[in-house]
Homo-oligomer: A and B are copies of this chain.
Amino acid sequence: MAKDKKLVEAITSMDVDFAQWYTDVVKKAELIDYSSVKGCMIIKPDGYAIWENIQNELDRRFKETGVENVYMPMFIPESLLNKEKDHVEGFAPEVAWVTHGGLNPLQERLCVRPTSETLFCDFYKNIIQSYRDLPKVYNQWCSVVRWEKETRPFLRSREFLWQEGHTAHATAEEAEERTVQMLNLYADFCEEVLAMPVVRGQKTEKEKFAGAEATYTIEALMHDGKALQSGTSHNFGDGFAKAFGIQYTDKENKLQHVHQTSWGMTTRLIGAIIMVHGDDSGLVLPPRVAPTQIMVIPIMQHKEGVLDKAAELKDRLAKSGIRVKLDSTDKSPGWKFSEQEMRGIPMRIEVGPKDIEASQCVLVRRDTREKIVVSFDELETKAAELLETIQTEMFERAKAHRDEHIYDAHNYDEFTEIVTNKAGFIRGMWCEDQACEDKIKEDFAATSRCMPFNDQEQIADTCVCCGKPAHKLVYWGKAY
């Protein structure tokens, strides 16, 4: 029994040290390993399979809206990166530079893409001539590099995987529509598939993307009360089009600049899943994104018929479309339970000699540990129903936790009291002066996360920081 506990004891309790708990889970659930390249991670099979499920479902949703996938070079010539002023200022300090090809120095340095706006602009300039060529709604799945000083697995690493959508449109209205459409697609995906509630809103001028006219964001609340920016969608207006000369002739034969957007989601989402749903026994995966949804664990498997029955149950579930595995290794059942829990597999099925005699097995939920006895006859139906229930209740629980950690502040005293003593989102009005954002950041290391879309909600008419008249509601918080 002592040995059975070893796996769980290997991770720090969330309440003792959340950051250490996170690192322990990432490692013990076998999601990543460290590499000999500082700040770059190895994504192991269990981690990568989660990413594959995210990719498949996002890609399916993208394509339903007319997105086409392409692949752009991973290198950007320095002169190309320099074309849009705000953009280069935002990224130049954190890119990796290639200076030699083979044994020879390059004539011009190339950066490893931190994001591909400049490459897509250069491409669009060549392939867009007429209104008939519009819109272009392209996306790519790739890795990008940002030379971060401090790194954490999934949350902030020097190389990460993502998708980046880049679109070009004839009108400003169409570009705005696409920007919002993709933000909502991201939000629905997070809520429906990752069981993770998000706040949808707009970034302030200070927090928006380098080169964008407007940045929309979804912000999720982690278990420790910190915010995580989980996906962003940018409206570039015609700023990049003017810098790169991307023009088309409209129906009246007049030359116009295109309007552009970009939007991205990353492997950071895996970090979000861990920090929203995980517990002191390890990872807890929502069934829709779990690589393995059910682990069948035989009890007293040396007894005749037990392994056969366990394999039969597994085959039946697999045939019904459930992602299921059988753990028939020679480890003890207790050890197998710990492993299944550590890896976040949403459900296990226990089946032993007594169960077989009674033509039943035991379904155990990972999220609540509830045990449900199910007769063999009803296995497929009950298991599928329970996976759906787990998915729904994980979302509801995360939403309740999030809502319990949203606080309203009407003045700086209230703000100070909350930010000092509580962890979560603080809702407070803002006068739209960057000085107030700067002050809050300096005083408390808290930032404006977003101005929510349901903007009509005004909890006061003065700025939570300076007391001057204010019309914008802002979600403030400490962030990853």
List the interface of chain A (C-beta within 8 A of B). Answer: 33, 35-37, 40-45, 48-49, 51-52, 68-77, 80, 93-103, 110, 112, 119, 122-123, 126-127, 138, 142-143, 145, 147, 158-159, 161
Given contacts A70-B43, A102-B94, A103-B93, is CB(A123)–CB(B75) below 8 Å? no
Given contacts A37-B110, A41-B73, A145-B74, is CB(A99)–CB(B102) below 8 Å? no
Beyond A37-B76, A42-B70: 19 further Cβ-contacts under 8 Å?
A35-B122, A36-B122, A41-B73, A42-B73, A43-B71, A45-B68, A45-B70, A48-B69, A48-B70, A49-B68, A49-B69, A74-B74, A74-B143, A93-B102, A96-B102, A97-B101, A98-B98, A98-B112, A112-B112
Give chain B nearest CB distance to A116 CB in angstroms. Answer: 11
Give chain B nearest CB distance to A458 CB in angstroms. Answer: 42
What residue in chain B is nearest A142 (Cβ atoms)?
B143
Contacts of A97 in B (CB 8 A): 98-101
What residue in chain B is nearest A51 (Cβ atoms)?
B71
Number of copies: 2
A36/B161 in contact, CB under 8 A: no
Q: Roughly how many angstroms separate A51 CA and B71 CA in the complex, as a whole number?
A: 10
Give chain B nearest CB distance to A32 CB in angstroms. Answer: 9
A147/B73 in contact, CB under 8 A: no
Give chain B nearest CB distance to A342 CB in angstroms. Answer: 16
Q: Roughly how many angstroms separate A143 CA and B144 CA in the complex, as a whole number?
A: 12
Query: Which of A37, A45, A71, A123 has the most B CB atoms < 10 Å from its CB?
Result: A71
Contacts of A93 in B (CB 8 A): 102-103
Contacts of A40 in B (CB 8 A): 73-75
Q: Roughly how many angstroms separate A101 CA and B91 CA in the complex, as a whole number?
A: 12
Q: Roughly how many angstroms separate A49 CA and B71 CA in the complex, as a whole number?
A: 10
B35/A123 in contact, CB under 8 A: yes
B110/A72 in contact, CB under 8 A: no
B101/A96 in contact, CB under 8 A: yes
Give chain B nearest CB distance to A66 CB in angstroms. Answer: 11
Contacts of A95 in B (CB 8 A): 102
Give chain B nearest CB distance to A324 CB in angstroms. Answer: 15
Contacts of A69 in B (CB 8 A): 45, 48-49, 52
Q: Roughly how many angstroms separate A122 CA and B36 CA in the complex, as a whole number?
A: 8
Pick the contact of A159 from B73, B80, B119, B158 — CB < 8 Å?
Answer: B73
